[in-house]
């Protein structure tokens, strides 16, 4: 995208990338969470110039199908494929079980489909830190296992998952309707404090980070902050990130709690742990 529309202050102003990157840093920080694709109005991001000389650019992970600004790429093709696949899973399966470790391995992602008959012990999941000795009380339910990458890609590409009543199993015995579990950052409803907050799967895209890479700021809204300092080194290493710019425009899904900060000025989304997060870094 050569241009992006900025909706800051309720006005629509079109910036060229050349003009936007010349703005003072304070203006850029103010405007960057209000950017849209000029054609399809999909939420957009700004990526600053990289330390190794990659130019600054605008982009969007949310171009609608057919938007001329949404240039085809292998990454977008994969996201679209995942969206189609997840829609099929929703119509076929009774329960979708999330394997958090599936997204965290660097090996090719292989997902299994299992018809689980009564009283058959479930084989222990690879790398799962559960006891592995439980027996599922699912009678003839069709269970499909999905990793976070497919789930995130399908949500970003507008699959039916966000509105679906399909049951999602996070941990054995803990099931939620998909539509009650997956929440875009823009729709996050904070509890009064961390204690009262119920964890959900929050998703969206990252606009930018602070200089220390301690906070992720979503593109989808400007009132949410995700502190990652506690797990920073693990997360940055897992997703192969060495500078903040690499996360500008990245898709993200995480399991966590949303609550107000003490001044009630900002919604905090606190990660559950370092495993229950997936980041779809831009491949370019």
Give the binding site for Zn ion (CB under 5 A): 37, 39-40, 42, 63, 67, 69
Q: How far is the CB of 177 from Zn ion (least distance, A)?
A: 30
Beta bridge partners of 47: 57
Nearer to Zn ion, 42 or 244 (CB): 42
For residue 234, which phi and psi values (nearest 5 degrees)? -65, -45
Shortest reach from residue 42's CB to Zn ion, in Å? 5
Please tell me the distance from the alpha carbon of residue 51 to that of residue 245, in angstroms, as a whole number. Answer: 9
Instruction: Give dist(CA 177, CA 166) in Å, integer.
Output: 6
Question: Residue 41 CB, nearest distance to Zn ion (Å)?
Answer: 7
105 or 184: CB nearest Zn ion? 184
Return d(Cα 29, Cα 125) in angstroms, integer: 43
Q: How far is the CB of 64 from Zn ion (least distance, A)?
A: 6
Q: Give the nearer residue to Zn ion in terms of CB position, either 189 or 284.
A: 284
Q: Closer to Zn ion by CB, 60 or 104: give it.
A: 60
CA 135 vs CA 115, 118, 122, 139, 169: distances in Å = 14, 9, 6, 11, 14
Among residues 80 and 104, whose Cβ is nearest to Zn ion?
80
211 C-beta neighbours (distance < 10 Å), count: 7
Q: How far is the CB of 60 from Zn ion (least distance, A)?
A: 6
Angle at 112 between CA 167 and CA 152, to 5 degrees: 55
Closest among 212, 187, 200 to 267, alpha carbons compared? 187
3-state percent helix, strand, coil for the chain, nearest multiple of 5: 25, 30, 45
H helix runs in the chain, sequence order: 17-22, 25-31, 74-92, 148-156, 178-181, 232-238
CB of 68 to Zn ion, least distance (A): 8
Q: Distance (Å, rounded) from C-alpha 225 to C-alpha 111? A: 32
Report the nearest approach of Zn ion to the CB of residue 70 (Å). 5
Q: Which is nearer to Zn ion, 42 or 190 (CB)?
A: 42
Nearer Cβ to Zn ion, position 53 or 72? 72
- Phi and psi at residue 43, to the nearest 5°: -55, 135
């Amino acid at each position: 995208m050569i241009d992006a529309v900025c909706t800051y202050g309720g006005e629509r102003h079109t910036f060229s990338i050349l003009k936007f990157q010349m703005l003072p840093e304070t203006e850029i920080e103010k405007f960057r969470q209000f950017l849209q694709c000029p054609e399809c109005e999909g939420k957009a991001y700004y990526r600053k110039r990289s330390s190794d000389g990659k130019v600054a650019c605008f982009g969007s992970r949310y171009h609608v199908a057919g938007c001329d600004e949404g240039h085809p790429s292998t990454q977008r093709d994969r996201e679209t494929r995942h969206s189609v696949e997840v829609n099929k899973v929703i119509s076929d399966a009774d329960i979708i079980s999330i394997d958090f470790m599936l997204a965290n391995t660097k090996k090719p992602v292989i997902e299994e489909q299992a018809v689980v008959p009564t009283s058959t012990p479930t084989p222990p999941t690879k790398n799962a830190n559960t006891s592995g000795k439980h027996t599922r009380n699912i009678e003839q339910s069709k269970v499909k296992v999905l990793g976070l990458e497919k789930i995130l890609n399908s949500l970003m590409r507008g699959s039916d998952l966000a509105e679906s009543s399909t049951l999602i199993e996070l941990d054995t015995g803990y099931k939620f309707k998909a539509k009650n579990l997956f929440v875009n950052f823009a729709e996050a409803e904070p509890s009064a404090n961390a204690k009262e907050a119920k964890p959900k799967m929050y998703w969206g895209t990252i606009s930018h980070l602070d200089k220390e890479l301690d906070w992720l700021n979503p593109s989808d809204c400007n009132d949410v902050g995700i502190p990652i300092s506690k797990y920073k080194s693990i997360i940055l290493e897992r997703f192969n990130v060495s500078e903040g710019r690499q996360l500008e425009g990245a898709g993200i899904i995480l399991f966590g709690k949303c609550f107000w900060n003490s001044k009630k000025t900002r919604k905090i989304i606190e990660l559950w742990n370092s495993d229950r997060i997936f980041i779809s870094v831009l491949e370019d």
